[in-house]
Amino acid sequence: MKHFLAKHATIKHRLYSLYYTLFSYGRGLIILTLCLWAGNIVSAILPIMIPGSIIGLLILFFLLAFQLIPTRWIKNSCNLFMRYMTVLFIPAAMGIMDNYSLLLANWLPIIFASVGGSIIVLFLTAYLTENLHRSTIKSSEDKEKQS
């Protein structure tokens, strides 16, 4: 009997933690949705073409930065999105199925401009960062290690 009770208690406990997890994901998702909607509205009003998702990101960032929303409300669902982000690019990447004729006709400028330009910018940015941050790198690396 005692054993049964203990087992029962763990089941109950697990169920509660499951509820809490689902609840925290739901809460995070609602906050993300609200931020995205607000971002879409602002982007429709603004004269410049900035996507609503970027403005939504800035809104959520400022909400977190000014501590209008506690981090724990959003943490779980944000980490979920971070972990499985790559799957969201599959539909766009599958677009290669339909566009290969356009790509074949102009492959030379497209490939070289994309790849060559990117390699130049990658090294330019990396070296620029290392040079600009050289003075502050040591102190911040220590901080990173501490945290």
* Cα–Cα distance, 120 to 132 (Å, whole number): 18
For residue 55, give the 3-state DSSP assignment. Answer: helix
Q: Which of residues 85-114 bind other proteins (CB under 8 A)?
A: 85-99, 102-103, 106, 108-114
**Residue with Cβ nearer other proteins (21 or 79):** 79
Contact (Cβ atoms closer than 8 angstroms) between residue 29 and residue 77: yes
Q: Which of 40, 31, 92 is nearest to 60 (CA)?
A: 31
**Residue with Cβ nearer other proteins (45 or 86):** 86
Contact (Cβ atoms closer than 8 angstroms) between residue 38 and residue 48: no
- Judged by CB under 8 A, the stretch of 3-11, 14-22, 52-60 that binds other proteins is 52-60
CB of 36 to other proteins, least distance (A): 5
**Residue with Cβ nearer other proteins (1 or 82):** 82
Does the protein bind other proteins through residue 25 (CB under 8 A)? no
Does the protein bind other proteins through residue 133 (CB under 8 A)? yes
Does the protein bind other proteins through residue 68 (CB under 8 A)? no
Strand ranges (E), 61-117? none
For residue 137, give the 3-state DSSP assignment. Answer: helix
- The DSSP symbol for 47 reads S
Does the protein bind other proteins through residue 66 (CB under 8 A)? no
Q: Look-up: residue for tokens 């970027």?
A: 54
CB of 18 to other proteins, least distance (A): 21
Does the protein bind other proteins through residue 32 (CB under 8 A)? yes
